[in-house]
Chains A and B, each alone.
Chain A
């Protein structure tokens, strides 16, 4: 930790004190790190440098953006209001599935409502908000740990129902025994069951660039630039979408949530988190506030799900396992729950260093070791990759251990996540930025209109 503290102290205070600068500096540092490591990898693997860097960064951008979005949404529930909602995956599923079902063509398999995408999107948000409102009812009377069990149970119920064959709508022949289309007041639809369902957009960038086969003028330009840099269209698309998420959506979420937080409404939220009875004793109808905040937060989670899992053209229920919820929680906890800036920082740190970082590190180590072995034992030498634990560790060959470890970095990553969660809870439950005072008021409270002489401060004395 002392390393981290020293690093943090090394950051100039002009950056630390300004949210925008802090976030930009963090992102810039992260991108630089990834770019450098990617250049190294490309050189070691004899690949083209620029496309490799571009591909890596577009992937990183997307991950940072989606985790920041989700952490911001969760911060409204957990950070601000203290509502321990660990059913995020379920609410994302409701968002993505509602949109997919509303937009799916009526004649398809599974059939849907055939609505245009923007209307389906709005419908999905409304549905998620309603489901959130229903989920809020337990929150009115339960303690935080019971609410945790209820919400995770609800998210599993949602996933299992979506996964069930019974509503899947995959057998559309009414004569068939296994006919499983849902018929709601004459509207026929299905969830796709375990096979999953198509989401209406498989390439969100096509809204800007036109269809991939026949791009419009902007598309031609963007793809042209891509070609001249050796970058293929899908990377251009990915970069565009990632940037859209990061620059527009994250900003929009941030602004919205800062506004909610820094307002009398946000003050009531904080009071609920601290001591609901005090809030009630001051005349605040906390029940209704909780319902509202659940609805808004869940709609934001649903939208986040749509922008994230809904952007690949296809989802299935297993995308929405509770582990996704835990990822988002880790991001928020690392960043600092209660702080919107912390949420964005947490999303970025989680995506770059906890989620993607171990894999990138493994790649770099693998390449470096490969290079080292070649210089030591001549061409053709490479790191062994034992195919199971027993083989790896019974050979007593440290290189074998390393090879196995690198090959199984994805499970080590989960162990790392677990260790980070425990560490944060034991030593730094306020996260990286949770100690910041984000004052819940729409005006600067330390400032006064000033008819009283500021003899005794009232000025910021920090």
Chain B
């Protein structure tokens, strides 16, 4: 009975949304392929390779871990994008540059503290411009890293609030498109203000020489993992729980969730109060800034367009998770991150981002409410 029902439901999907059905079939194939590959099974009747192959479990593990790292950053940054999209009703193209702002604010702080505490003596100008490369790490200057992390959040919050005051607040009554265009303007101004000060060349900022490496045994191999990666994972997950706590336990958080999750309610109750908007910017901007700091910690390199380059991936995560949903943004970001790395099993690395953007477009077309749409995040 139930099977028959499910069967007919499946049939309806096939008829009404052939593209969705096709997508489902492709996903199913890829998943089976992955399982067979890790089991080292290849099915190739009559010499035609059908499915499977070989892929050491440890390789897959590394892909997943890399993806998780990217995904946590994307998810963390996505919270703000999703909330502003839900509450202020516009796609903020400057969000990527909030990440960059956070990275520069945080690492400048970390560098200055490193300069003050570490036994190094470069000219201060080299510190200020990150010209003294690979100065700090979690091991040699943990205080600098922690304060940098805090500064990345606070600095971005400051910038974001100023930008709201100057740019977005006078435009509250305008539609989504004027706001979107203005946010492109903000993105350009912010990015090139950073260039004006720090220049366009990328700088290596973290010292990796003395940080401990761990190896997680998995299957037939090991997955390397260093302390910076662990720091990122721990910090990002802790912050996500922090956001969860904030949204669930505080009154303000509940109001924000209601506003972001439910556009209709937001419309019924009218324009959200300035207090909620400010809180949105503070949380969203702060998380974006911290995400920027963390991704630099992991990659070791800081550059003026790092946030902009992440922006579309973040959009992909937010859309996947359902625009306006905070948990959706986190989950969507993690899925996009992991999928973009695991996709390397099948496609050359040139196409990882292509795949992520394609998924984003398909979701917008066929499931604009996101993967978890309809399932209310209570």
Contact = CB atoms under 8 A, between A and B. Distances in A.
Direct contact of A and B (CB under 8 A): yes
A89 B166 CA distance: 30
Interface stretch (A29-37, A56-64, A149-157, A245-253): A149-157
B167 A164 contact: no
B351 interface: yes
Given A414-B188, A425-B174, A408 B351 contact: no
B365 A142 contact: yes
Given A163-B350, A165-B348, A390-B125, A156 B357 contact: yes
Contact of B191 (A138, A160, A164, A414): A414
Contacts of A165: 348, 350
A146 B315 contact: no
Contact of A141 (B171, B360, B365): B365
B351 A153 contact: no
A25 interface: no
A329 interface: yes
B196 A149 contact: no
B319 interface: yes
B187 A149 contact: no
B329 interface: no
A22 interface: no
Contacts of B281: none
Interface residues of A, number: 46
A418 B187 contact: yes
Interface stretch (B176-184, B205-213, B291-299): B176-184
Given A411-B195, A418-B190, A390 B361 contact: no
B361 A145 contact: no
B contacts with A: majority SS: helix
B129 A390 contact: yes
B195 A333 contact: no
Nearest to A409: B196
B193 A415 contact: yes
26 contacts: A138-B365, A144-B177, A146-B368, A150-B364, A153-B312, A153-B360, A154-B357, A156-B357, A157-B358, A164-B351, A165-B350, A166-B351, A329-B181, A329-B184, A389-B129, A390-B129, A391-B125, A411-B193, A414-B189, A414-B192, A414-B195, A418-B187, A422-B185, A425-B174, A425-B185, A426-B171
Given A141-B365, A164-B351, 5 more contacts: A153-B316, A153-B361, A388-B125, A414-B191, A426-B167
Interface of B: 90-91, 124-125, 128-129, 166-167, 170-171, 174, 176-182, 184-193, 195-200, 312, 315-316, 319, 348, 350-351, 353-354, 357-358, 360-361, 364-365, 368
In order of increasing CB-CB distance, the 9 nearest A-B pairs are A421-B185, A418-B189, A164-B350, A414-B192, A418-B188, A390-B125, A418-B185, A425-B182, A422-B185
